[in-house]
């Protein structure tokens, strides 16, 4: 009888020990919530109240919020949330800034190209003269053509003198020559006007470049040495 009781007691203690070990194992396996891993949000709202929370604070949505570490040091700062209009305004501002930077970069690129092409006023003056000379050559050719047409018209007019009293009796070929010469003279007149406009445009372009080039040449010209440094 005593042996049976001791054996039962031993089984009961063994079961109790196993249950305790299992409970301890399960307890160690369960993840423990880590406090403060996300940080503590803190701010002072519009009413002057200092608020703390484990998530962004609604009352401070319009102002900066600090995120603190468990030690109380600042982990991060969260800027104020923007309204739809504020976001649109910010996007417009950023777009304008990007466009301005692009404009400045393009201006710098043009300045570098301009300096490379025209390192001195002599080079710029020479190219202006060449451009104007090309227009002059074309204009001279047009002037010679106009002179030829005027001679043709004089000859046709002399022939039309025979039909002065009744121009309708003039041969069709003569009347056709008059029309052709008149149309050709009108075409050449328009061409001359175009060349005159091109002449003004070229001069205006070189004048505008010269204004900018004078500034660039002054910026990139070597600094004159002082009398003291020359003496040395």
Q: Report domain extents, the chain.
A: 36-97, 113-220
pTM: 0.54
Structure tokens at 1: 């009888």
| Best CA proximity match to 213, nearest among 132, 130, 111 | 111
Structure tokens at 176: 């056709």
- For residue 62, the model assigns a pLDDT of 81
| Best CA proximity match to 211, nearest among 107, 127, 124 | 124
Separation CA 99–CA 105 (nearest Å) = 10
Instruction: Output DSSP code: residue 49.
Output: -
Whether the CB-CB separation of 209 and 115 falls below 8 Å is answered with no
Strand ranges (E), the chain: 40-44, 50-53, 65-68, 74-78
- For residue 134, the model assigns a pLDDT of 96
- For residue 109, the model assigns a pLDDT of 96
Separation CA 27–CA 161 (nearest Å) = 128
10-residue mean pLDDT profile of the chain (232 residues): values are 49 49 40 54 92 91 90 88 81 92 96 95 97 95 94 88 80 88 94 95 97 94 60 52
- For residue 164, the model assigns a pLDDT of 79
Instruction: Output DSSP code: residue 47.
Output: T
Helix or strand or coil: residue 191? helix
- For residue 172, the model assigns a pLDDT of 87
Helix or strand or coil: residue 66? strand
- For residue 79, the model assigns a pLDDT of 81
Edge-first strand order for the sheet with 74-78 is 50-53, 40-44, 65-68, 74-78
Q: Distance between alpha carbon 26 and the CA centroid of its chain, in Å?
A: 63
Residue carrying structure tokens 């990007």: 98
- For residue 170, the model assigns a pLDDT of 82
| Best CA proximity match to 114, nearest among 127, 102, 103 | 127
- For residue 2, the model assigns a pLDDT of 42
| Best CA proximity match to 74, nearest among 49, 37, 41 | 41
Structure tokens at 184: 């050709």
Separation CA 96–CA 101 (nearest Å) = 9
- For residue 126, the model assigns a pLDDT of 97
């Amino acid at each position: 009888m005593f042996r049976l009781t001791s054996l039962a007691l031993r089984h009961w203690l063994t079961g109790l020990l196993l249950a305790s070990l299992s409970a301890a194992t399960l307890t160690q396996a369960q993840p423990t919530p880590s406090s403060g891993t996300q940080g503590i949000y803190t701010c002072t709202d519009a009413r002057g109240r200092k608020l703390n929370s484990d998530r962004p604070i609604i009352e401070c949505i319009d102002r900066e919020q600090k995120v603190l570490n468990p030690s109380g040091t600042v982990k991060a700062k969260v800027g104020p949330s923007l309204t739809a209009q504020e976001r649109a305004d910010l996007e417009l501002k950023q777009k304008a800034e990007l466009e301005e930077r692009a404009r400045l970069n393009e201006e710098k690129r043009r300045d570098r190209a301009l300096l490379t092409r025209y390192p001195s006023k002599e080079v710029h003056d020479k190219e202006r003269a060449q451009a104007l000379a090309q227009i002059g050559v074309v204009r001279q050719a047009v002037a010679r053509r106009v002179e030829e047409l005027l001679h043709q018209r004089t000859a046709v007019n002399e022939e039309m003198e025979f039909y002065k009293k009744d121009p309708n009796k003039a041969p069709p070929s003569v009347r056709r020559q008059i029309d052709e010469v008149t149309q050709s003279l009108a075409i050449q007149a328009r061409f001359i006007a175009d060349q005159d406009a091109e002449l003004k445009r070229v001069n205006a372009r070189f004048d505008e470049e010269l204004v900018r080039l004078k500034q660039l040449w002054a910026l990139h010209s070597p600094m004159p040495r002082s009398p003291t440094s020359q003496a040395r």
